[in-house]
Structures are given as C-alpha cells and as structure tokens.
A and B are shown apart, each in its own frame.
Chain A
Amino acid sequence: MLGCGLLVGIPILFVTGLLSYAAYDPGLGGGNDRTPGKGLLGFYLFSWPTDPVWLYRAVIGTHLLLGLALLPVLLAKLWSVIPRLFAWPPVTSPAQALERLSLVLLVGGAVFEFVTGLLNVQLFYPWSFSFYTAHLYGAWVFMGAFATHVVIKLPVMVRALRGRSMRAELRTGLADTRPEEPDGSGLVAAAPAEPTISRRGVLGLVGSGSLLLVGLAAGQTLGDGVRGTALLAPRGGSYPNDFPVNKTAAGRGIKVRDTGAAWRLVVAGAGAEVSLSRADLLALPQRTERLPISCVEGWSTTQTWTGVALADLLALVDEPVDDVMVSSLQEGGAFAVVRLAGNQVTDRRSLLALRVNGADLSLDHGFPARVIVPAAPGVHCTKWVREVRLLAGSA
C-alpha cells in the first residue's frame, strides 16, 4: 500500500522536477543552464511557454507539496522494509548482490533528494555543491534505481494488494488485527509482539502526517488570501500590505544611491543603444497585468504589475524577435544575469514593471524597475534591472 503510493507519487515528483528544469530555458545558455554538463539528460527540453500564466506555479507547487506529502510515506516504507538491511548472510547470490547495490542507490537517492529539496527551500546549505547540480543528477541516479525496483517488485506489490481486501482492512480494528502470515520475504516478524496498532491505524497515521505537512504549508503556494494558514513553511504567515520577498536588497548588496535619480536603464540592440531614466520609462505607454511570481522554492504570489511591455522597450532600438539578456544591479548571485527567450519577450504581458498594486515598487521588490514574465520561474523575473540587451543574431 505504501509502495503503491510511492509508485504513483515519485514519477509525478520526477516529472514536475524535470519540467521545472525546462522552465529555466537552459537551452538559452548563460546563467540559465545551471547544469551545462547534462548531456542526454536534457533530451526532452523545450522552449518554455508563457501560457497559462500559472504554469510554473502549478508545476513547482505540485513538486513541493507532493514531496511533503510523500515524506511520511517514504519513512513508513523504509520502516517496514528495514529488517532486510540486517539480513544475514548479506549476500546469497550474484542476483541479490546486484540488487542490494541498486537498493543503496534507491534508498540513498530517495533520502538525498528529500533532504536536498527540503533544506534548499529553507536556505540551509551544510554542503558546498550546487543544489541544482546535486538535485538534478541525484534525481536521475535515483530514478534509474527506482525503475529497476519497480520492475523487480511490481509482482510482489500486486500480490500484496490482492492478498488483502482494502475494504475489509479498513473495517478491522486493533482487537481483530492479526500478524502477517510468513511469506518467505524475510519481512514478516517471526515472533510478533501483541499488536498495538491496526493496519488501518498505520495507514491513518501516515495519511495524517501527509495532511498535516501539506496543510501547514499549502498556503504559501495557493494564494495570498490563505498565506496565513501556512504556519510551517518558509514563506507562510501574514504579510500586511505586502507580499514575500525572495532576496532583499540588503541581502543582494543593492545600494540606495545606485537606484536613485542617477539610475539609468540601458536598452541595447544590434546597432543602437538608449539610456532611460525612470521618468523616461514612466512616460512610455504603460500596461497593467495581473501575474503570479512563483519561486523554485515552492511559494508564489499574484500581484498587479504596471510598467512598459518588454516588446515596446526593445522596439526603441531593434525588432524584439530574439533572445534577450537582462542584467541586474546586484553583484554576484547565480541569477544576476538571465536570458529570456523570444517567445517571452514578444508576449505583450511581459513587463518591465515600475509599479505594483498602484504604488511604486519598494526597494526589496526591485525598485527602480523589475522584469515580470508570465509563467517564468521567479528567478527569471530580475529585480533592480540595469540593462536589457537583445542578443546577437536578432534581426
């Protein structure tokens, strides 16, 4: 039963993770590709669309919340099979030796992916490798072992599920709970103690754990109206008159004087370049769009942004048909420079935002100007923009 939950859940986690990787548009190169050595593992990559606008929010929200829901299932599964770890003799045949090796990758991979994912969203890094590198390659190592395990163990799971009627089990209380019959798997206790919890009780406990973890975190993904319910999640709680900030200006070393009256935005094309003040930008035609920002860390927020369409801005210097490089005032950081694809730039809803919800952007939200692109990961919505440059190759 636990295995069945993981059999359905893990592939969804894997696919949403791969989609999140695609959402970074690593094909554009530069800082977009956090793992340039991926080789064949990038076989499926495609140009990330701008529709529907909630696409990245759904992908990453599912990834994080499903991961939280599966944590108790994984732990219970490990609990149920751990006697095998101490089986003696440890190896009885070449087949079993190979299988045990594969199990190291399976269990190690599962624990590794949950640990790196959970610690990353809490910005806790007790290691020096890149999260992107570790989480992506770790996932493929794990999935290789997972596929093997499914092929080998599927018949066992089907037998186990057929061996018991789910409905009957859910009607069986503690008083009628009997030990498992020996089945030769080595997993059935030889001399079981008096049961203290029924099978439905164990399933109920695991399910409650999943519900509790998801229930106390979902608010940070679902919307600003329910963010307060996310008591145990990095970007939950209440934000009076505000919304969460991924990286503050202070945290990114943004100096107030660089964002003041002397600030200029450089817009560059193949042959031309213009320099615009914030007043110049406000004098250009303004558009207002209601768009979500969704972070790879799993939280999101929908706000009303006002500013200049990126396409209009680039039309000042060139035809905006190709990829664009956006640079921030921030020094260092993995996403100080990001690339946007032609389909993102020409979407009229992609803005260089100057205002949010009718007020000027605050410094932490990217003053003087920030990018907002529908359906793009939050890190591609660059704050404190200083330059927007059409890449060579554009018409």
Chain B
Amino acid sequence: MMRRLLSWYGASPVHLAALVAGGAVSAYAVSRVPSLEVLLQIALWFVGTLLVHDLVLFPVYAAADNVGAWVHRRRSGPGPRVPWVNHVRVPAVLSGLLLLAWFPLILRLSSGFERASGRANDVYLGRWLLVTGVLCAISAALYLARVLLPPRRPARS
C-alpha cells in the first residue's frame, strides 16, 4: 500500500516531509501579512520580479551572449589566434551587474533620494561610466598582452 502510494507520488517520504514542513513556514508567513490588499501587491511583485527575470532579463542577456559567441565563431578563422570573446564578455557582465544593482541611483529614478540625503545624485552615472571604462581598458590591455606576448603553451587547434 505504502509502496504504491509512494510510486504514485513519485519521490521519497523525506521529499514530501520537506515540502510540507517548508510549505507550512511559508504559508504561516503569508497568513501574517496585515491585509489582503497588501498581500496581493506583494504577491504581484513576487511573481512579477520572477517573470521579469525569467522572461525578459534572461532572454536578453542570453541572446546578447549568443550573438557575441556567434560573431566570435564566425570571425575566428583557423590558426592559433587569441580568443577575444571573454575580453568583451567579462567587462560587459561586470558593468551590467553594477547597473542592475544601482540603476535607481545611476538613472536618477529616486526623486526622494536628494531630498532625504541633501546630496545631488547626479554623480552616479559618471562614476558607473568611469568604472565601465576602466574595466574595458584593463580587459583590452590584457588582450593585447596575450596577443603580443608568446603563449605559454600552444593554442588549441
């Protein structure tokens, strides 16, 4: 009987117990939210941010990466060339991360920020561009070094 139930369920009893216990904690937290209106708003943001990540952000950065890799493949002929794709990818990812974390400051979206802090927030765009420029310069310098200096071992054929 037990075995048939478990084979219908599709996983071990530990799996079920973990889901029930964790689900109970989540459900209790949901039940403490002060009002249905607030709960719906929070739920909207819960699911909304998830959808924005999975269906907007992820496809955008995956597509950008695929285009980069495709261009890289097409333009890399045979011969011991130094691959450049990561010299574009790394500064782009790092700069994108900074933008993702601080876009309200960089794009001056927070109108309350200047009033609260008493400081102009027009400095962040410049700083972000500066950091991005430095990252690109370092990456380019490393690339040049790899091209000009003899490799330590033969490049992949």
Contact = CB atoms under 8 A, between A and B. Distances in A.
Interface of A: 35, 37-41, 68, 71-72, 75, 78-79, 82, 85, 92-96, 98-99, 102, 104-105, 107-109, 111-112, 115-116, 118-119, 122-125, 127-130, 133-134, 137-138, 140-149, 151-152, 174-175, 193-194, 196-197, 201, 205, 208-209, 212-213, 216, 231-232, 234-235, 237, 244-248, 250-251, 364
Given A37-B33, A212-B98, A251-B118, A197 B86 contact: yes
Contacts of A37: 32-34
Contact of B97 (A108, A213, A246): A213
A244 B118 CA distance: 9
Provide the main secondary structure of the chain A interface.
Answer: helix
A107 B49 CA distance: 10
Interface string B80-95: 0001011001100110
Contacts, number: 217
A301 to B, nearest CB: 13
Nearest to A76: B93
Given A123-B110, A147-B25, A250-B118, 4 more contacts: A68-B101, A128-B41, A146-B22, A197-B86
B18 A133 contact: no
Nearest to A122: B104
B46 A112 contact: yes
Given A95-B10, A245-B118, A107 B50 contact: yes
Contacts of A193: 69
A142 B97 CA distance: 23
A39 B32 contact: yes
A82 B54 contact: yes
A78 B140 CA distance: 29
Given A108-B50, A245-B118, A251-B115, A118 B10 contact: no
Contacts of B21: 147-148
B15 A79 contact: no
Contacts of A142: 26
